[in-house]
Amino acid sequence: MKNRMSRLIRPDTGGSVMLAVDHGYFLGPTTGLEKVGWAVKDLVPHADALALTRGVLRHDINPGWDVPIILRVSGGTSILNEELLHEGITASMKDAVRLNVSGVAFSICVGAKFERTTILGLSQVVDEAEEHGIPTLAVIAIGKDMVRDARYLALAGRIAAEHGARIVKTYYCEPDFGKVVDTCPVPIVIAGGKKLPEMEALEMAYKAMEGGAVGVDMGRNIFQSENPVAMIKAVREVVHKGATGKEAFEAFQQLKSQA
């Protein structure tokens, strides 16, 4: 477990830049991820972990790449379903072990009428993952009528950790993101969410780090960037080197101009 956790969160900096490319499991062919292997090949050397599904791992990812894998093991509903995120277990732990993953990811939706199913699903995944020393990353969502504020995100993150998640992935919020971190006993990473201008995404990453997050599990704000490699490198400046959003944006512009 400790070895796998140290593959996911770098012991030298205490940070992690996870690259999320699992969108297709509920969104289908997301912009920028039409061909995942092609989209990530230049990003993988700069990612501390790659979050994806087993289908993409088997078909699109070179097994020779030395990048820790966080395997998505939840799903079951698509963007077309009004109960989006009413998810269950979609991959066995036997397959996760066989795929030699460093972590598994499961989504819970707190505040939805089906929350119970997702929380029990998380617990089952944790039981099975712990048996093999595999950390579970809980991706938290809240009911669709609820505001993504510190109160609800703290509630959902804490619930995920209480059920055994080793890492919690949440959204950044203002004000009081620090409260979400402080009341969660396990490390927190933030999702990027919808594509933002690069400066704003880097500023959000910086503020999340200031609030106590250990890093990001970011997708669209990297692979949909006008220069994905420059963007992931800029995010690394924030997470691993303590750069501010402004400093990282300057680095992004410089890297972009060199390309």
Return the active site residues.
Answer: 169
Which two structure tokens, joined as six digits, stand for 127? 């039981």
Q: In whole angstroms, how close is the CB of 76 to ligand 5RP at the nearest point?
A: 12
User: What single letter denotes the amino acid at residue 80?
Assistant: L
Q: Is 191 in the site for ligand 5RP (CB under 6 A)?
A: yes
Q: Please, what is the Cα angle at 5 between 3 and 8, to 5 degrees?
A: 115
The residue within the footprint of ligand 5RP, chosen from 88, 178, 193, 212 (CB under 6 A), is 193
What three-state secondary structure class fits 138?
A: strand
| For ligand 5RP, the closer CB: 131 or 200 | 200
- Binding to ligand 5RP by residue 23, rule CB under 6 A? yes
d(CA 12, CA 115): 37
Q: How far is the CB of 226 from ligand 5RP (least distance, A)?
A: 16
By CB under 6 A, tell whether 228 contacts ligand 5RP. no
132 with 151: CB under 8 angstroms? no
Residue 162 DSSP symbol: H
User: Which of 44, 53, 36 has its CA nearest to residue 18?
Assistant: 44
CB of 63 to ligand 5RP, least distance (A): 22
Annotate each residue in 97-116 with x if it binds ligand 5RP (CB under 6 A) or - if it does not, as one string.
----------x---------
